Amino acid sequence: MTDKIQTILAEMTLEEKAALCTGAGPWTSVPIERLGVPELTVSDGPHGVRRAIDAHAIVTESVPATCFPTASCLASTWDIDLLHKMGVALAEECIALNVDVILGPGVNMKRSPLGGRNFEYFSEDPFLAGELAASMIDGVQSKGVGTSLKHYAANNQEYQRFSISAEIDERTLREIYLPAFEKAVKQSKPWTVMCSYNKLNGVFASEHSYLLNDILKNEWGFEGLVVSDWGAVRDRVAALKGGLDWEMPGPRQQRVQAVVEAVRSGELEQSVLDESVRRILRILFMAQETPKNGSFDIDAHHQLARKIASEGMVLLKNNGLLPLGGQPRIAVIGRAAKEAHFQGGGSSHINPTQVSAPFDEIQALAETTELTYAEGYPADNSFNQELIDQAVRLAQAAQVAILVIALPSFKESEGYDRRDLDLTDQQIALIQAVGRAQPNTVVALNNGAPLAMSAWIEDVAAVLEGWMMGQAGGGAIADILFGKVNPSGKLAETFPLKLTDTPAHINWPGDAGKVHYGEGLYIGYRYYDAREMPVLFPFGYGLSYTSFAYSNPRLSASKFKDVDGVVVTVDVTNAGQVAGKEIVQVYVHDRQSTLARPPKELKGFAKLELQPGETKSVSIKLDLRAFAYYHPEHKQWVTEDGEFEILIGASAADIRGRVTATLESTLNLPCILDKESTIREWMADRRGKVALGPLYEQIESQSRKTFGGGDERYGNESAIGMDIMEMINDMPLYSVLMFQPEAMPMSPDEVVDFLLQQAYSIE
């Protein structure tokens, strides 16, 4: 293929090259018939194929395709094999619908639960998001269909998303907002990566050479093409220089002409344009290797969607009511019971092949049960007491009430952020009234992101988080309510008690064109752990109809080198009466590090199925990156010698086992000391300690004399009532020497320069 591409490149005109780097329409590239260059067809995703009937219109009706659950539900499965299967199914539909690349998955972090597009993203945790995205990409691309990993990078809100500048420090960017992209790119090699609309630290992502060239293409080795989000490019020439290969949508003749003129004037190097053309041609010809025709198994994909939904739904509360038995009468309440709410609004909106409504599916599994129905709440945001009163009457006349409550699209959709974490006033009042009238009340929720529940959760017996559940989600709700499926989903994001508890609250959504990520590394459970703050439901939480016991946690080695990693193993027993699945989570805690780190971070997980009384051992490998952090001064990931605590849990708040290991770092980091380095930093640096060591005792002795009057009675405290060395150790060496001129044979400048020269000369 390389020779073919080089031949075509040599024969292309400048105008043809420029045109190829901009779309022919909303969903296709520019074909070049004389050279045998076909068009590339893309489709919105990521949880279904939104293949436009009219390829020349951005907003148009799409052909029917399976609407799988959205990413919030997918992530709650914690099941990489299941996401791989979904990826294969998506590829089969792409092939049948003549689509070369599906635009997804999305791996942006859920910085705040208010993000309007959060339902399209996996998690607040980069490790989990990266693992899930990589598996989904592998599934799609195993069939010869491409993916588009998005939105790169820091697209964490809808407010001013076309222009807002996400202000993020380098360490936070590397540890929180890039790792999911990095994992997917390195492991699964997506055909394309889609840049985001927003700016990052003042530069549009579409023109961000550091993001697109330095990190993505050079550091991570990305070989595919970078495509813009639709309408994200402001300056086509600057975007090409910045690493943006393909602008969408087209046609954009003025952009094409601007590129031509930039090359002719010398503003844009021909080699930069040729590189983008080469990347585009490579993907074009890869896509042609998979013939596009045929059909897909509609029923089989619907059943797969049902299985995924049932695996991703999370049982949040159960006072023993679930699973339901053979109650003679059940009141089903809520518009979403009959008008299923199963996906979000915006570019990912799928035209489903069929839809399973919860009411119909409940009736199918409870054939001998009499079902009654009440609307419960209106389609708009009005308040209707009569609907509540009707629902209460039906609930009182039944043995069980099932409330199906969907967060309306006017509160949650692409294009705008949520203003609060609440259901509508009508929905809250409905749950309170029904729950108080009928003790056996279940609430089944359909939403894409966390909700506040304190106002009503004590009034009901059970709560099932059904998410935006996909077209078969109604059946999945019924399966779980009646015990056909034992719930195994666990939260991939924290449910806070209230909005003001959330880490980004005081920096959301920004102003004056900027949003400051002031919480840094501390998003999601990292923040709640550090603050020791109670939450409604913690990250990784989810109930089952059985229980699991953890025992015998162990490591493959008590001491290990970072390059070797370590394997953690634990025994898990199903201690209940029914078969079930458990998600084992492994977190890492660094007991001491040079830079501050979150109390714990997810670094491994496994989902296993157990029969009643069965025990299985699960082993999880932790590699170098499980113990490393990004050091902004060294500009690389670093490990440090020391003890790490490995935490094995059923959730971030439910740690079942702890083991400790000692890591030996193999890194030989360069010295980064400078004139402003503190005494503590000198002594923490391997080379600095050698250089400063002989002088340290003299500095300590002289400091005690200077500030303690040389009186031994003061001990650690100085004459001014403080532990002098605690202060001295955090002062720059230069500043300390300024207070001790009589003790030094040279000036402070000369001493520091001499010691720095010594430190930097040590191998």
Q: What is the dihedral of CA 745, 747, 750, 752, to 10 degrees?
A: 100
| AA letter at 556 | S
Unique residue bearing structure tokens 């020269």? 757
The residue annotated as part of the active site, out of 229, 417, 501, 529, is 229
CB 76 within 8 Å of CB 313: yes
Give the H/E segment covering residue 407: none
CB 228 within 8 Å of CB 250: no
| AA letter at 291 | P
Residue 3 tokens, joined: 């020779």
Burial class, 153, CB count within 10 angstroms (exposed 0-12 / middle 13-18 / buried 19+): buried
Distance CA 380, CA 341 (A): 14
| AA letter at 251 | P
Neighbouring residues of 668: CB distance < 8 A, sequence distance ≥ 6: none
Q: 3-state DSSP: the chain helix, strand, coil percent, rounded to 5?
A: 35, 20, 45
Q: DSSP 3-state assignment of 138?
A: helix
Whether 229 sits among the annotated catalytic residues: the reply is yes
431-435 long-range contacts, CB within 8 A, separation 24+ = 431/403, 431/405, 431/456, 431/459, 431/460, 432/456, 432/459, 433/388, 433/391, 433/392, 434/333, 434/388, 434/391, 434/392, 434/395, 434/401, 434/403, 435/459, 435/460
CB 585 within 8 Å of CB 620: no
- Rg of the chain taking only CA atoms, in angstroms: 29
Distance, C-alpha 261 to centroid of its chain? 41
Q: DSSP 3-state assignment of 465?
A: strand
| AA letter at 678 | T
Enumerate the β-bridge partners of residue 73: none
Distance CA 623, CA 183 (A): 13
Supply angle C-alpha 531, 532, 538, rounded to 5: 105
Determine how β-strand 199-200 pairs with β-strand 203-204. antiparallel
Distance CA 325, CA 483 (A): 9
Residue 730 tokens, joined: 């955090």
CB 664 within 8 Å of CB 559: yes
Residue 483 tokens, joined: 């015990």
* DSSP at 507: G
Residue 615 tokens, joined: 């025990």
Enumerate the β-bridge partners of residue 406: 446
* DSSP at 744: -
In order, the DSSP letters of 418-432 are: -S-S---HHHHHHHH
CB 725 within 8 Å of CB 700: yes
Distance CA 517, CA 504 (A): 7
Length in residues, the chain: 763
Number of H helices, E strands in the chain: 23, 25
Active site residues: 229
